Structure formats: structure tokens, C-alpha cells
């Protein structure tokens, strides 16, 4: 399974009510575990928990706060690193410009709303 690069601000705003930042992270972790996948969840500036930079949460999920850069800029850079190293990746976003730039070499591009719906379905499965 390729690494799944998640544009967290785009996913969380893809549905109303918006998905809370913390929930995007935790549900993405559950999604990755269900699919034996690896996700990188990227936020603008500071990620939940005050994270700036990359923090490995477990073997399946890395949380990223982009710092002074935008999440889009960070995702474009990471997508280019994946391409350069021959590492397969998916991109999760509905942002057209980001899809055009970072999604060019992705094995798959998933819309933010589609991914948000998958996360919401996981939310309903979780206890109280």
C-alpha cells in the first residue's frame, strides 16, 4: 500500500459540520489500520497537540504541522520526494491546484469529501 498524503484542512472542511482537527487525525489512524496503510496527515501551521514539523504517532500515522509553509506547499514537496525516490503515494484533497501539482504522479487521487465520508463512517463505528 502506498503512503497516503492527506490534506487535513481540505478534508475537515469537506462536510458540514466540519470534522474536528483531532477527529481527522484519530479517524485517519483508524482508516489506515483498517486498510493496512500508512497515512501522513498534514495541517497548516500547527497540527493538533501543538505539533510543528513531523511527529510519528504510530507505525501507520505521521502527523505534520507545516510551520511557516502551507500544508499545500508541504504536500507538494513530499509528493516530489516520493516521485524522486520511486515511492508510490496517494493524495487526498479536492483542491484543484494541489491535485494538479502534487497529484500528477500519484497512484490515486481521492477527493477530500470522499475521504471525509469514509472517516465519518468510521466515526459511527466507534464507541460513545
What is the percent of the chain with per-residue pLDDT over 90, rounded to a whole number? 93
Quote the pLDDT of residue 57.
Answer: 95
Quote the pLDDT of residue 125.
Answer: 65
Tens digits of residue pLDDT in 101-126: 999 999 999 999 999 999 999 876 65
Domain count, the chain: 1
Region 90-101: what's the mean pLDDT?
97
Quote the pLDDT of residue 2.
Answer: 85
Kindly report the pTM of this predicted structure. 0.94
Q: Which domain holds residue 107?
A: 3-125
C-alpha distances out from residue 99 to 6, 41, 66, 67, 104, Å: 12, 16, 18, 21, 7
19: alpha, beta or left, given left = phi > 0 and alpha = psi -120 to 50?
beta
Give the CATH number, domain containing residue 29: 3.40.50.1010
Length of the chain, please?
A: 128
pLDDT band at residue 91 under the 50/70/90 scheme = very high
Amino acid at each position: 500500500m502506498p503512503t497516503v498524503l492527506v490534506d487535513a484542512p481540505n478534508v475537515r472542511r469537506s462536510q458540514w459540520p466540519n470534522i474536528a482537527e483531532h477527529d481527522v487525525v484519530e479517524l485517519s489512524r483508524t482508516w489506515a489500520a483498517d486498510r493496512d496503510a500508512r497515512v501522513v496527515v498534514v495541517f497548516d501551521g500547527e497540527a493538533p497537540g501543538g505539533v510543528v514539523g513531523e511527529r510519528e504517532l504510530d507505525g501507520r500515522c505521521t502527523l505534520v504541522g507545516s510551520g511557516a509553509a502551507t500544508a499545500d506547499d508541504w504536500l507538494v514537496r513530499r509528493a516530489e520526494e516520493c516521485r524522486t525516490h520511486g515511492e508510490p503515494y496517494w493524495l487526498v484533497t479536492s483542491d484543484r491546484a494541489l491535485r494538479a501539482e502534487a497529484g500528477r504522479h500519484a497512484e490515486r487521487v481521492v477527493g477530500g469529501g470522499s475521504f471525509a465520508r469514509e472517516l465519518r463512517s468510521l466515526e459511527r463505528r466507534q464507541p460513545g
